[in-house]
């Protein structure tokens, strides 16, 4: 087997590759659509999604919740089963969480806590938390049920303008014919993203928050309209 400059297996010469590229550009879209290799399905975010951040402080533990997860998964027809197979290509996943939507869950003084958090996350400059999937690594053991698949998601996570590579165990399960649920939990340190743990003076006195937080995501996505099972993908 020949290999290319990156050491990947390659069966085409340079001129063959150019010819193929020209053919791909020239060939009409319907012909491509018949090729299962490029048949992608887009799953869009659905209401009911949840992001939850749990942290600590010298007074009590705290929780912040948000219900807005913007983004999509672009994957082949058989996702997520297809990714569990060896050598499969990672789907395209992009996620945006507006910082404004994250709300403190305390009974009294929540607005103040939100203000403090937004300030420390530099919301005026960086209004969103961004995530882009780099690789989806199947876990060695798949669950018995057959509908839920476990992976390690490696992605680029940007918080307050600072991007770090994140490795997060995720479960992807098929809820029904059109919907998938992605669940993941990851531990982060505020300081890794240049965020100083807040220590506001509220009515309870000086509060010092801990550096470590746990982020839990429950993301529901559904096939885009017109992409119900059997319909051709865009």
Nearest distance from residue 4's CB to other proteins, in Å?
40
The length of the chain, given as a count of residues: 234
- The secondary structure of 155-176 as a DSSP string is EEEEETTEEEEEEEEEEEEE-S
Within the chain, residue ranges assigned H as helices are 14-26, 29-33, 81-84, 110-120
Q: How far is the CB of 104 from other proteins (least distance, A)?
A: 9
- Which of positions 149-208 make contact with other proteins (CB under 8 A)? 201-203
Q: Which stretch binds other proteins (CB under 8 A): 35-43, 45-53, 158-166, 182-190?
A: 45-53
- Which of 10, 40, 46, 57 is in the footprint of other proteins by CB under 8 A? 46
Long-range contacts of 109-112 (CB under 8 A, 24+ apart): 109/202, 109/203, 112/200, 112/202
Nearer to other proteins, 47 or 230 (CB): 47
Interface region with other proteins, contact rule CB under 8 A, candidates 23-31, 42-50, 85-93, 181-189: 42-50
Contact pick of 112, 139, 179, 181 for other proteins (by CB under 8 A): 112
> Could you give the 3-state DSSP secondary structure of residue 15?
helix
Compute the CA torsion angle 34, 37, 39, 42 (nearest 10 deg): 180
CB of 42 to other proteins, least distance (A): 13
Considering beta carbons, is residue 45 or 158 the nearer one to other proteins?
A: 45
Among the listed residues 16, 35, 61, 115, the single contact to other proteins using CB under 8 A: 115
Residues 57 to 86 in contact with other proteins, rule: CB under 8 A: 65-71
Binding mask 116-145 for other proteins (x = CB under 8 A): --x----xx---------------------
Nearer to other proteins (CB atom), residue 88 or residue 126: 126
Question: Which H or E element spans position 93?
Answer: strand 92-98
Alpha carbon distance 233, 174 (integer Å): 19
CB of 176 to other proteins, least distance (A): 16
The answer to whether 219 and 172 are in contact (CB under 8 A) is no
217, HSE (Cβ side, Cα atoms, 13 Å): 23
Apex 96 CA angle, 90 and 101, nearest 5: 150
What residue ranges bind other proteins (CB under 8 A)? 44-49, 65-71, 98, 100-101, 103, 108-112, 115, 118, 123-124, 201-203
């Amino acid at each position: 087997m020949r290999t290319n400059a990156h050491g990947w297996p390659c069966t085409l010469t340079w001129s063959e590759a150019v010819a193929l590229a020209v053919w791909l550009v020239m060939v009409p879209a319907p012909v491509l659509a018949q090729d299962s290799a490029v048949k992608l399905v887009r799953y869009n975010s659905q209401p009911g999604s949840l992001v939850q951040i749990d942290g600590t402080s010298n007074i009590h533990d705290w929780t912040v919740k948000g219900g807005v997860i913007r983004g999509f998964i672009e994957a082949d027809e058989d996702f997520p089963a297809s990714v569990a197979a060896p050598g499969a290509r990672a789907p395209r996943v992009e996620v945006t969480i507006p910082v404004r939507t994250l709300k403190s869950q305390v009974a009294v003084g929540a607005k103040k806590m939100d203000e403090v958090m937004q300030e420390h996350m530099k919301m005026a400059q960086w209004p969103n938390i961004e995530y882009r999937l780099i690789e989806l690594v199947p876990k060695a053991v798949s669950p018995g049920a057959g509908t839920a698949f476990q992976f390690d998601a490696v992605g680029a996570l940007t918080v307050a303008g600072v991007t770090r590579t994140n490795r997060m165990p995720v479960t992807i399960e098929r809820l029904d014919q059109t919907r998938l649920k992605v669940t993941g939990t990851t531990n982060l340190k505020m300081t890794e993203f240049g965020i100083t743990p807040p220590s506001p003076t509220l009515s309870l006195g000086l509060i010092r928050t801990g550096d470590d937080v746990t982020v839990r995501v429950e993301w529901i996505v559904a096939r885009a309209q017109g992409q119900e099972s059997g319909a051709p993908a865009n």
